[in-house]
Amino acid sequence: MFAHLVLVFSLFCAFISASALAQMPQWSYDAGPDLTTMMGRELLDITADIPNMPEISDKIMGRSQKFRPAFGPIPWRMRQEANKVKILFIGQDGTHIAEAAGRPATAGFGGRAQDFANYFGVNEGAAFINAYSFTIKGQYGIYNTPYIYEDDGEQTVRSANLVGNDLWLMSNSLQSPVTKWRNRLIDWIIRNNKKSIKLVVLFGGAARDAIATYAKSKGAEVYGRYEKLMSKIQVPLTKSEYAGGNNTFPSLVAQDGGDLYEDVLGRKLTYRNSSDQKAALQTLRDNLQTYLKKAVFTKGGPYKNGLLNAAQLGGYDLDTMKVNGIETRSLKGIQLDDGTILDEDVIVISLPHPSYLSRTVMDADSYTEGKKKASALVMRDVQLLDKFKVRGWRIEPDLNKVNFYDRGEDYEYGRSDIGPEFYDFGTPENRMVSRSTAKRMSRNANVVIIGTRDNGKFSSSEIKKMTQAKPAPGINPESLFIARPSAMPEKEQFDPGPGLDMAREMIVNLDQKALFKTKEGMSFEKDGIDAYYVKSHPDVGDFGHYRGTFNNPKIIVLADPSGYDDLITARALTGTRGQYLQGMLNEMGVKDDYLLLKTVPVAMDGATSEEWKYVLEKTNKYRERVLKRVMRSADPILVIADGEYAIAEAKRLLKKEGLPIIKLRRTKADLSLDVTAAQEQLAVFNSFSDVQLSGKMANIPRTHLSFYSRVWEGTSGDRVITSEGTKYKGLAFAEVVPSWAYNQKKELSAENQKAIQEMLNTLEEQGLPLPYEKVPRYLDRTQIDPSYDFNEVLEDWKIAS
């Protein structure tokens, strides 16, 4: 009896554990905004209005471009159904893999944040955005920036994270297009989820200041950490210096515009070296009076201390937030953009950044001890929720999930997988990762390598050729090329996916275990991709099953895989071969009224006939079931079979339907082969007897690409290649953005230009340096004494107050 009870209890615990980690079905996917709803159309407009942040940086920050433009904006990772989101996570900016995935909060940060959501029983109910939708260079502000604190006539050097005036204006001024856009997105998320959203979780200073800025835009009060000390603080002019990796160091600016540290020390400093950083800081402490005379103290801004906002130094203090005069950590009571009042508690908490928690674990004596410390750090901030919990606040867990916080259990630091429900259907597993597996290619800011954090082995000549490739005619110049289309009609054109029934058909009928079987006696470590019958690693998984419409297509195309672009677009044949086919279909008058299915949803470039034989045998059921379902509702006039194995399968599976088959043969060496030769086969059909095929490529229709696909995707030939070498081939891939996209000169809207001019006016009126203005020119314009004089400043401060 006792043994029976133990067994029952064990099964119960296993069920609870499985339920706690449950995710949506493997055929789930993100279809993009629902344009049949008002909120869906609003989100479409918000996305289209993402400002050209690199251009704004040029105007506000001068030569110090803050953004990495090539991969464009990464706006969100979330489900868009009404009242789906329960927790909103806000980070700083995207990572390399996020750029490739087209979603923020991917890799390590995403896995840790997703795990914290699971603590509350939330998986698909988590939403993720960043303070910046574009990836930034460096960090938000400069850590350990020196400032002068004077009390009772004694000056001391202190340090804090400082966000410069230009970066602050661009990031948090209520005039800024960056701020306005971010506030619109936050407001949309809250309004779309008014009955479900309960918590906003912040990681890092940029996220903290972003939510404070949003709250202030709604009439809330939030104050800077050093707000009450502004009359005792002077901030000298500094310059952000490269300090290795993504780090920066603040050098002091001399009155001639040079490096004051170098002037005083009498030698060149290399700030990548920690020894030079220490030398600079030590000389500041040892020779403070010299620095006070020779540094540049602008005495500008409302506090006459060089700052526009007290929160630039150390950030906003969320414990000072007041809504309708009441001190609170909840957004309850703010007026939303639709005029309604938020009538439920949405609590704001900051957590230690996942990178800091990871270091805590690594620096501990053992993994167990480190995990315990990291968990305790998180719980320290989670305790803020307890006073709301006793008043009835709670997060409703997702279906079949468990809210461990509700049960009174502490959080255990960990990492959770990120499910397909946040991505396009057909997204490969190497873009849905909860660990960092990507890097930017050295000296190629437009190339991200995914699948490894190593450099791989990529042909530099091929990368150059792909960078310089041009698109076919038809790109709308009114759109920002590095983002999804923002101009009509392309703005509203996208493929929302195959539908859940068809998606399920594709996933459940694919035997992944058999498909990715290792050949006997071989291994990837020893033999590379040759160890498999397929030519993409099991870590990649299936991808790019189809492209086109399932709504009674005029033509069905069955095609053998070609290239690797489908890894990025999640749609079949979007690279060079697909663009040649598109040119042919356009000239046939078919345009986008067709359905293209891959014979197998994996890479097969370079596969032998024996490998093909095995793969086809293991995927027979997949093709049979998918085509059978397609033919239930389709009445195509013909089939195009593209590639040797597609021809054989089309004969086997579709000839009984009485459909004529156009056979296209191609080779790896010539991806245009047989496109023009198809004209002879088409001549027997009245509908196509007059067709003249030119053999030119055409861009993939926007109606065949997902909502998240950027303008340049599906154009300019192949955009993705695999690495060479046993270690990387089929596992590591390089995604290459064409130069015509990231070099686009796109004018800002009149509204954004006006906002930028207002921000520039603010800098000028407050006596602060302007972008591109050299220090001597600034001093001549303002006629200030740049040396430190506290009594003069104090008198000015009293007058200003």
CATH at 661: 3.40.470
pLDDT of 8 above 60? no
Please check the confidence at residue 568 and state whether its pLDDT lies above 60: yes
Neighbours of 328 (CB within 10 A): 19
Q: Are residues 217 and 240 in the same domain?
A: no
Q: Are residues 255 and 385 in the same domain?
A: no
692 domain-assigned? yes
Query: β-pairing, 438-440 with 326-327?
Result: unpaired
Is 474 inside any structural domain?
Answer: no
Q: Give 17-74 pLDDT, tens digit per residue.
A: 333 444 799 999 999 999 999 999 999 999 999 999 999 999 999 988 999 999 999 9
Of 422, 447, 468, the residue at which a domain comes to its end is: 422
Sheet of strand 142-151, all strands in order from the earlier edge strand to the far edge = 154-162, 142-151, 233-234
Q: Is the peptide bond before 489 cis (omega within 30 degrees of 0)?
A: yes
In a domain, 150, yes or no: no
pLDDT of res. 105: 94
Percent above pLDDT 90 for the chain: 90
- Looking at the fold, whether 506 and 375 belong to one and the same domain comes out as no
Rounded mean pLDDT, 626-630: 97
- Answer yes or no: is pLDDT of 1 > 50: no
Please give the pLDDT value at position 795.
54
Asked whether residue 486 is domain-assigned, the answer is no
Q: Are residues 658 and 631 in the same domain?
A: yes
Q: Is the per-residue pLDDT at 576 higher than 60?
A: yes
Q: How big is the CA angle at 210 (ends 205 and 216), to the nearest 5 degrees?
A: 125
* DSSP for 300-364, written as a single string: -TTTTSS-S-GGGBT-EEEEEEEETTEE-SB-TTPBPTTS-B--S--EEEEE--HHHHHHHHHHS
Q: At what angle do helices 750-765 and 165-172 cross, to 10 degrees?
A: 140
23-37, 218-232, 674-688: lowest mean pLDDT where? 674-688
Residues 197 and 255 in one domain: no
* pLDDT at residue 636 is higher than 50: yes
Give domain status of residue 439, yes or no: no
Return phi, psi of residue 268, to 5°: -75, 140
Task: Record the pTM.
Answer: 0.95
Residues 621 and 662 in one domain: yes
| Average pLDDT of the segment spanning 771-777 | 97
Domain boundary, last residue among 665, 697, 713: 713
pLDDT tens digits, residue range 274-289? 999 999 999 999 999 9
Give CA separation, 494 vs 16, 30, 484, 634, in Å: 39, 12, 10, 21
Phi–psi pair at 543, nearest 5 degrees: -165, 155
**Amino acid symbol at 440:** R
Structure tokens at 111: 């896995």
pLDDT tens digits for range 449-496: 999 999 999 999 999 999 999 999 999 999 999 999 999 999 999 999
> What's the rounded Cα separation, in Å, for the pair 40 and 487?
17
Are 532 and 625 part of one and the same domain? yes
The total domain count for the chain is 3
Give the integer Cα–Cα distance in Å for 253 and 776.
11
Asked, for residue 99, whether it belongs to a domain, the answer is yes
Does position 10 have pLDDT exceeding 80, yes or no? Answer: no
Statement to judge: residues 61 and 193 lie in one domain: yes
User: Is residue 48 located within the same domain as residue 112?
Assistant: yes
Query: What does each C-alpha distance from 188 to 43, 69, 123 come to in angstroms?
Result: 7, 25, 20
Nearest-angstrom CA–CA distance, 720 and 569: 10
Categorize the per-residue pLDDT at 610 as very low, low, confident or very high, splitting at 50, 70 and 90. Answer: very high
Per-residue model confidence (pLDDT) at position 246: 82
Closest CA relative to residue 93, chosen from 80, 107, 111, 74? 74
Could you give the residue ranges of the DSSP H alpha helices within 21-149? 38-48, 53-61, 96-101, 107-119
Residue identified by tokens 């109910």 is 125
Q: Flag whether pLDDT at 16 surpasses 50.
A: no
Q: Predicted confidence band at 677 (pLDDT cuts at 50, 70, 90)?
A: confident
The count of C-alpha atoms lying within 13 angstroms of the C-alpha of 481, restricted to the half-sphere facing its C-beta, is 22
Look at residue 544 and tell me whether its pLDDT is greater than 60: yes
| One domain for residues 668 and 597 | yes
**Which domain, by its residues, includes 241?**
235-309+748-800
- Domain presence at residue 683: yes
Do 129 and 99 share a structural domain?
A: yes
Q: Is the pLDDT of residue 102 over 60?
A: yes
Look at residue 325 and tell me if it is in a domain: no
Helix (H) or strand (E) holding 733: strand 733-736
The pLDDT assigned to 789 comes to: 79
Lowest mean pLDDT among 259-263, 364-368, 578-582, 663-667: 663-667
**Of 422, 457, 481, which closes a domain?**
422
Residue 152 and residue 186 in contact, taking contact as beta carbons nearer than 8 Å:
no
3-state DSSP assignment of residue 486: coil
Looking at the structure, do residues 555 and 665 belong to the same domain, yes or no? yes
Work out the mean pLDDT of the chain and round it to a whole number: 94
Determine the pLDDT at residue 792. Answer: 59
> Is it the case that residue 14 has pLDDT exceeding 80?
no
